[in-house]
């Protein structure tokens, strides 16, 4: 994870790897960062979109009612396709309904704390694995492969996936997000001002550089 710097602006990003709009949002964020002369630090905060469907053991109850029907998913696919074209982002799937991102978030949280300088590369690798290569980022072997690809210690990442204390830290982060009224992702926050959704690079520029409220998706 990027760390705060006296010479850099900081943007807080709430995101879940399994959210296609989060992937699109990271692409527009990168497009905006490329236009900046000064660095922009990103403070990542994990968010669990499936939290309301989780069993006590952490598994997902896919049969739990969440109000999302076929019409909802059809509209979501249409929105993903529209934003893909708008932002020129390559994706090989529009939704990943069956994928559980919790293991990826746990591994990523460990890396953000233990190897902050390598977190951004790992974060990028997870998104690319799911949305470009259609790999299941809920699988330990996939995550350790990605860790190896970016030069992280594989044994440590594998151990992190079984670390109950890390799981408790994630739960605390999810609860904090809820207390801060983060109800959907991606959510970008700068100095208390928030924009939700895969907003355009120009809207991110407005949010970061002037503190103005970017339009919400």
Domain interval for residue 105 = 9-210
pLDDT on residue 211: 63
pLDDT of residue 6: 40
Query: Looking at residue 80, which CATH number applies to its domain?
Result: 3.40.30.10
In a domain, 103, yes or no: yes
Which two three-digit tokens encode residue 150? Answer: 């970016």
pLDDT at residue 8, rounded to an integer: 58
User: Does residue 101 fall inside a structural domain?
Assistant: yes
Burial (0-12, 13-18, 19+ Cβ within 10 Å), 94? middle
Q: How far is CA 69 from CA 13, 43, 145, in A?
A: 28, 33, 34
Flag whether 155 is in a domain: yes
Q: What is the pLDDT of residue 2?
A: 44
Res 214: pLDDT: 45
Q: What is the pLDDT of residue 194?
A: 95
Number of compact structural domains in the chain: 1
Distances (CA, A) of 82 to 74, 93, 110, 185, 198: 12, 13, 34, 18, 11
Asked, for residue 3, whether it belongs to a domain, the answer is no
pLDDT averaged per 10 residues, the chain (length 217): 53 98 98 94 95 86 84 96 97 95 98 98 98 98 98 98 96 95 96 95 93 45
**Residue 78's pLDDT is what?**
98
Question: Residue 29 CB: number of other CB atoms within 10 A?
Answer: 22
Tell me, yes or no, whether 217 lies in a domain.
no
Residue 2 in any domain: the answer is: no
Tell me if 120 is assigned to some domain: yes
pTM given for the model: 0.91
Residue 1 located in a structural domain: no
What is the DSSP code (8-state) at residue 51? G
């Amino acid at each position: 994870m990027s760390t705060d710097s006296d010479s850099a602006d900081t943007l807080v990003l709430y995101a879940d790897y399994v959210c296609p709009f989060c992937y699109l949002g990271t692409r527009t964020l990168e497009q905006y960062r490329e236009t900046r002369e000064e660095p922009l630090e990103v403070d990542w905060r994990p968010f669990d979109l499936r939290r309301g469907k989780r069993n006590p053991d952490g598994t997902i109850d896919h049969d739990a009612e969440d109000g999302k029907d076929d019409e909802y998913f059809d509209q979501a696919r249409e929105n993903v396709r529209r934003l893909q074209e708008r932002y020129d982002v390559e994706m090989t799937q529009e939704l990943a309904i069956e994928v559980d991102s919790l293991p990826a978030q746990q591994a990523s949280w460990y890396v953000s704390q233990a190897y902050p300088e390598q977190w951004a590369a790992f974060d990028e690798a997870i998104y690319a694995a799911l949305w470009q290569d259609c790999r299941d980022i809920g699988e330990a072997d996939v995550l350790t492969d990605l860790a190896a690809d970016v030069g992280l210690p594989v044994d440590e990442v594998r151990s992190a996936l079984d670390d109950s204390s890390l799981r408790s830290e994630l739960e605390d982060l999810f609860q904090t997000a809820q207390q801060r009224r983060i109800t959907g992702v991606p959510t970008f926050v700068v100095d208390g001002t928030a924009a939700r959704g895969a907003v355009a690079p120009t809207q991110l520029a407005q949010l970061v550089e002037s503190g103005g409220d970017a339009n919400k998706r």
